[in-house]
Structure 1
């Protein structure tokens, strides 16, 4: 009996043709009532970058991805408990956090933010990963 479910499995050879990697990964994992979503960026699930040079547009696409992945796992944005946001320039903090905040209005997750030297692809300006839950009882979930 599996202890977890992998959502949107992929191999890096196909996803990142500009790199010589061959790793098997997935976009999200559901383990019990917890959903772990891998870092999402401004790239849609067909591999198209949205918002070249625009951190807010990339954050918007990343949150669209997060929403879809959580729904595929049986959760939703309202059940996010933790976010970790990475930005490549401190000036991106306001546009990225403003965009993410619009998606998470009223959710109140715990949040960690980091400024990093770079992400896996040079055109990526931000990345966000999340942990969410799948409540046993919708009425009791707060």
Structure 2
């Protein structure tokens, strides 16, 4: 049986779960009160750290699910996202509007990646 590894485990969720060469990250949020672009930068920097800890990186991202508190932030978030995704490595992606945990969160991103 292949081991399921959980890292940064809390009562409600784990920040990283790995199983059979796949990495799942919990939804990542930025700093409340920052712009959507700055929250996206913070989120992607945290995703980079978590993926490295799990033995992966942004070139191995399989899919991304992005929630925006309002679709008016779509272009602002995409500008940062597009600069972060390595050329030729765009993952499958969905982006939609949803109420997030608090009104100060404008962006939340969840990633699935392959381990190296």
Q: TM-score, normalised by structure 1?
A: 0.76
Q: How does 1:12-91 map to 2 (within 5 A)?
A: 23=12, 25-42=13-30, 49=31, 52-91=33-72
How many residue pairs get matched? Answer: 115
Any runs of at least 4 consecutive aligned residues in structure 1 with deviations exceeding 2 A, and if so which?
A: none
8 Å CA contact 1:7, 1:72 repeated in 2: no
**Which stretches in structure 2 are left out of the alignment for 5+ residues?**
none
Structure 1 position 115, deviation (Å): 1.1
With CA pairs under 8 Å and 6+ residues apart, which has the higher RCO, 1 or 2? 2
How far residue 10 of structure 1 moved from its aligned partner, in angstroms, is 2.1
Asked if 1:114 corresponds to 2:102, the answer is: no
For residues 49 and 102 of structure 2, the distance between their equivalents in structure 1, rounded to whole angstroms, comes to 22
2:82 corresponds to 1:101? yes
Does the 8 Å contact 2:58/2:86 carry over to 1? no
Q: Does 1:125 align with 2:106?
A: yes
CA distance in 1, matches of 2:75, 2:39: 13
CA distance in 2, matches of 1:26, 1:120: 17
CA shift digits 1:19-77 (9 cap, x unpaired): xxxx3x210101110000111110xxxxxx26x14000000101011111111000011
